Amino acid sequence: MSEKTHSPVGVSLIQIGAENAGQRIDNFLLTQLKGVPKSHIYRILRTGEVRVNGGRIQAGKRLSAGDVVRLPPVRTSAPVETPVGSVSALRRRLESRILMEDSDLLVIDKPGGIAVHGGSGLSLGIIEGLRRIREEARFLELVHRLDRDTSGCLVIAKKRSALRALHEQFRGKEVQKVYTALLEGVWHQASRRVEQALEKNVLQSGERLVKPSEHGKNAVTVFRRLQGYRALTLVEAEPLTGRTHQIRVHAKCLGHPIAGDQRYGSSDRTRELRQMGLRRLFLHAARLTFTHPGTREPLSVEAPLDPELQHFLAHLR
């Protein structure tokens, strides 16, 4: 078990127990510093205010049992009181989107427009919402993440052992991830493979911006054409690596940004599509295939395309 003590100046020292071993330091801080904006958490990591065994640590480094984490004094936001009516509405919305659940894990069809976790002005994300409606659950942690504007399959672990096993599969590229995306422009090839290294930059606001760079990390995405529309192409996108914003940036590298992408697409085209009825990023995590951490059997979970995206395609037809 992790143990927490306090110094006279308000600094907290936490010794990492077995249940937190293997967890990334940034994810650990998100669970320890509830109510603190994500941008502030990354800032105290960058400035060295957070220390592990007396030394600085990068956001992606993983903790080991016995490590001592130094947390600086931080001011958390006041907890947001949620009216009873909104809790019941939250329960209906989230539980209606659960794709599968057992004693090890839960897979939810994440709605577009909701972050996977709170922070940066958001009181509730998907994981906080699930914890709110599943108060009896002793353990609920995100296995991976989806961008706020991306919908589809999102895996939540219900046991520390399941979290570790699934993290190993994601790190080992043993998870097949298939997305549905609508790209700007027309192309007729059956498939296209993009191999372009990507470099991530975190702005002072905490916003992540990714760009192609020979100094970045290797990234590979395969795009397969599904259907063409006037000036738009529906594709299946399979990322073979797991970089931040990978599909979005690789689509831009093709010269065909994802429709509705306000960060990497054309602002003029995004406005045109909004007037046509597309009010979000057209990117959907359609299918995940992995080994179940408990049974060790193959498991494939699919999330149907969100109704708003289906309606937009129907409008194009």
Domain edges within the chain? 3-71, 84-168, 172-316
Is 104 part of the annotated catalytic residue set? no
pLDDT at 85: 45
CATH code of the domain occupying 3-71? 3.10.290.10
pLDDT at 218: 95
pLDDT at 10: 62
pLDDT at 84: 39
> 87 is written with which tokens?
């809790």
Q: Which fold has domain 172-316?
A: Pseudouridine synthase (3.30.2350)
> 21 is written with which tokens?
């071993």
Among the listed residues 67, 147, 149, 306, the single catalytic one is: 147
pLDDT at 4: 52
CATH code of the domain occupying 84-168? 3.30.2350.10
- Where the chain has pLDDT below 70, the residues are 1-10, 35, 75-88, 119-123, 203-206
Secondary structure of residue 130 in the 3-state scheme: helix
Record the pTM: 0.74
Torsion region of 113: left, alpha or beta (phi above 0 gives left; psi -120 to 50 gives alpha): left
Across 290-308, b (16+ Cβ under 10 Å) vs e yields bbbbbeeeebebebebbeb
Other C-beta atoms closer than 10 Å to the C-beta of 131 total: 15
